[in-house]
Amino acid sequence: MNSNKVTFTLLAVMAFGYAAAQSPAKAIKWNENNPSELKVMDVNPSADFSESTLNTIRLNANRRYVANTMHHDIKNDLLYFFTDDVNSASPKLPMARQQKMVVADANTGERLRELPFFNSAVMAPFFIGERNELGFISVQRQFHGYGNNDDDISLVFFNLTTGEITAKVELPSLSFQAMSAPVVGKSKTTDFNGQTMTVEMSLSSPCYISSMEKLLFVAKDVLGNNRLFKVNTRTGKLESQLRVEQDVIDMVYDEENNLVRALFVAEEDGKRSLKLGNLDMNTSRITGSVEVRELLSIEELVTDGYVELDEESGDIFVGKSMATRHDMYTFDKDLQLVELKSRTTPNEKIDFEFPTKYTPSSYANLDNVISMFPNPTSGDVTILSELSNVTYVKVMNNVGEVVKTVDVQSEEIANEINVSNLAPGMYFVEIQSDAAEKLTKKLIVK
């Protein structure tokens, strides 16, 4: 799932009950007739999906919000999202919109920072909360002269604290014409020579699995084959790209049952259907699938749809919009349909994201979230913890003797430890936080 985000129109949000016990959810609401004015809201996933408007974010007049790109940084109460320039798209370069990542204060609506992404399109963004990183598929239109592969595509990891690109995974087998995820179906586009052509597109929303440090997404390669891409987010390496038979829209990881629940489009005997099944990330096979509903002829291009999981009950929720209504399906863990709700929808739309709770079990490796610098040092060393509170620090020499112990009482994310009284050499710093494990780092005192 794209950062546990759900996109649908406003009345659907107000009318549907939701079984997940997460509340409240932060939301951005907008009207496509006035895309530069965004309402920041709290949405309560209770029986009536009540909402309250907090403030308004006003973009520049020529900019608009890009759907499915919102992320709420709960710790700092910040909103991250993307905008593009409504006037900058060339007929021959449909991807060349001048995109910007906006950071706004969720409490006041003030735009704090805007980071431009020139000459590339940002697709399928996702956030790695425990490392404060943004990941996205970067698409740069380049004329190579070999047909439908006129794109330079890569998966980029971007550190929101330092502003640096931490990893980049080249994806030379892919070529995109789309602006957002998910997208499945046929669309007309214009190549570099001004020729109009119909292309088959398929790109799922990304599925980030924090406990495994894996990112999954499905995309169609230049030969027309769907592939399940599995990326190690810790090393920034592509682990596999297995062929998938179906066009996948969205995925969510079921930790308890070690399953990836996949929402996909299947075509049999000329009929296209929306289906839900279990995807094996090691073989890319989808099994045990059930039909959600048949797709209508007007849904030749599918650009929405999501699957959500209530971790407490195990219930699975599937949402899909049409021009005038939104459907929400509830399935149990055995993929049996429990309930279907439909509501008429207006033109106003909303993105919202359920809060991500970082518990000790989320720290697959604390080395991702606790850093120590400068190293080497001759004076102070800073222990920086983004998500967990450091409780004590123990410094040991190279034979294991404890030479310094600090009981950290503050709840600050940064704590300075003075080691100027230690003899030059190599030491081991044991860091205990309120997460479930200890972390040991090497320190050089000069």
CATH code for the domain defined by 369-445: 2.60.40.1930
Pairwise CA distance, residues 390 & 411, whole Å: 8
**Backbone torsions φ then ψ of 24, nearest 5 degrees:** -85, 170
Q: Mean pLDDT throughout 327-345?
A: 85
Q: How far is CA 58 from CA 39, 40, 115, 131, in A?
A: 9, 11, 16, 29
Q: Is it the case that residue 211 has pLDDT exceeding 50? A: yes
pLDDT of res. 160: 74
Cβ neighbour number for residue 163 with a 10 Å cutoff: 9
Instruction: Say if pTM beats, i.e. exceeds, 0.85.
Output: no
pLDDT of res. 180: 73
Q: Is it the case that residue 288 has pLDDT exceeding 70? A: yes
Mean pLDDT lowest among 153-162, 323-332, 350-359: 350-359
Q: How confident is the model at residue 260 (pLDDT cuts 50, 70, 90)?
A: very high
Place of tokens 């400068």: 374
pLDDT of res. 272: 93
Return the percentage of the chain with pLDDT > 90, whole number.
Answer: 25
Pairwise CA distance, residues 87 & 63, whole Å: 8
Fold of 5-357: Methylamine Dehydrogenase; Chain H (2.130.10)
Pairwise CA distance, residues 140 & 172, whole Å: 12
Question: pLDDT tens for residues 416-425?
Answer: 888 999 999 9
Question: pLDDT tens for residues 401-443?
Answer: 899 988 776 656 677 888 999 999 999 998 876 554 567 888 9
What percent of the residues of the chain are helix, what percent strand, and what percent coil, each to the nearest 5? 5, 55, 40
Q: Mean pLDDT throughout 303-319?
A: 84
pLDDT of res. 3: 44
Q: How confident is the model at residue 146 (pLDDT cuts 50, 70, 90)?
A: very low
Q: How confident is the model at residue 359 (pLDDT cuts 50, 70, 90)?
A: very low
Q: Mean pLDDT throughout 375-392?
A: 79
Q: Is it the case that residue 23 has pLDDT exceeding 60? A: no
Q: Mean pLDDT throughout 309-335?
A: 83
Q: What is the mean pLDDT of the chain?
A: 78
| Cis amide linkage into residue 360, ω under 30° from 0 | no
Q: How confident is the model at residue 357 (pLDDT cuts 50, 70, 90)?
A: very low
Where along the chain do its domains lie? Answer: 5-357, 369-445
- DSSP helix/strand/coil, 250: strand
- Structure-block tokens of residue 21: 């016990």
